[in-house]
Amino acid sequence: MQSLRGKANAVAAENAKFVKATAAIDFDAYRKRLKYTGDAVGNLEKAYKGKVIPQYTASLPAFEAKKRAAMLNVVKSTVEATKQDLANLHTQLEAFESGRITEDSSMGEVEQRFPSIAREIEEEIREHKWAKDSL
């Protein structure tokens, strides 16, 4: 937030260096040069003088300040929730890694990891269904 404010202040300082009042337009000189379109120059002069250019202000309306504060609170809570989810995922990953079956795993570890398959194998051995899953 501080870096954003610093950049905004830098932009305002640069803007102050280059802001100059615009030179007045000499409509009378254009009327004399453009003899056939003098009326058009008069119409342009009326439009130019009647135009109000909005002025830039750096103040923030109260509603916008509240809206931004609420948005920042939502972002903070989202970040915290994401950090919590990430911690949970890390614990799940560690549990998965600890239970991973490798070529160095023993039959006891396989039975512990997959108890339903171990029960099925024991049942097939008891009932002499040697070729049940081989085809």
Phi, psi of 105 (to 5 degrees): -75, 145
Among 30-34, 68-72, 82-86, the minimum mean pLDDT is found in 30-34
What pLDDT digit, counting tens, does each position of 109-130 carry? 888 888 998 899 899 889 888 7
Q: Is residue 43 part of a domain?
A: no
pTM of structure = 0.39
**pLDDT given for residue 114 in this prediction:** 87
Query: Is residue 121 situated within a structural domain?
Result: yes
Q: Write out the two tokens for 17.
A: 């260096």
Structural domain total, the chain? 1
Asked if residue 9 belongs to a domain, the reply is: no
pLDDT of residue 1: 67
User: Is 115 part of a structural domain of the chain?
Assistant: yes
Residue type for 81, please? A
Range of the domain at 108: 101-135
Nearest residue to 121 via CA among 132, 105, 106: 132
CA atoms of 42 and 32, how far apart (whole Å): 12
